[in-house]
Amino acid sequence: MNILGLNAFHGDASAAVLRDGQLVAALEEERLNRIKHWAGLPLLAAKACLEGAQPDHIAISRDPKAHLTDKLLRAALRPHQWLNLTSRAANSVRIAQVSELLAADGIVPREARQVHFVEHHRAHLASAFFASAFEEAAVISIDGFGDFSSVMWAWGKAIR
């Protein structure tokens, strides 16, 4: 099984491929397009990581619906920042269209693929645990404010 993981429309956009639970490739888009801290859709990195293979699943390391109530409440209480929200809304729309954008660039076929929008910190936890050799482990993500949260911890347990 090939899983294409994407950090898209966020700083340091990148792609990675897990094949049957093993990390086989990971690459930041800036290494190919030569734009430092690039924050778009990592099409070149995805192609390079897949090397012509087709992904069975695509995991996007952002979920626009995560903590939506908290995001809306925060926005409602700060009308002076409403103009800034247009770029965030546009970013969420682009994230929701990743599957179509990948198909348009020929990275995945047009027929439906399983696309998973993974909350930012869950994506960190999953990428650390599932690519490890551990059967069970405590995992923690301490990061910026991705998907309206800065810390998450969990107990990872292999599914066999």
Residue positions annotated with a catalytic role: 10
| Closest residue by Cα to residue 105 from 159, 153, 43 | 43
What are the tokens at 58? 């695509």
- Give how far Cα 63 sits from Cα of 13, 28, 53, 77, 144, Å: 15, 20, 25, 22, 15
Asked if residues 33 and 44 have their Cβ atoms less than 8 Å apart, the reply is: yes
Pairing of strands 114-117, 57-60: parallel
The Cα 46–Cα 42 span in angstroms is 6
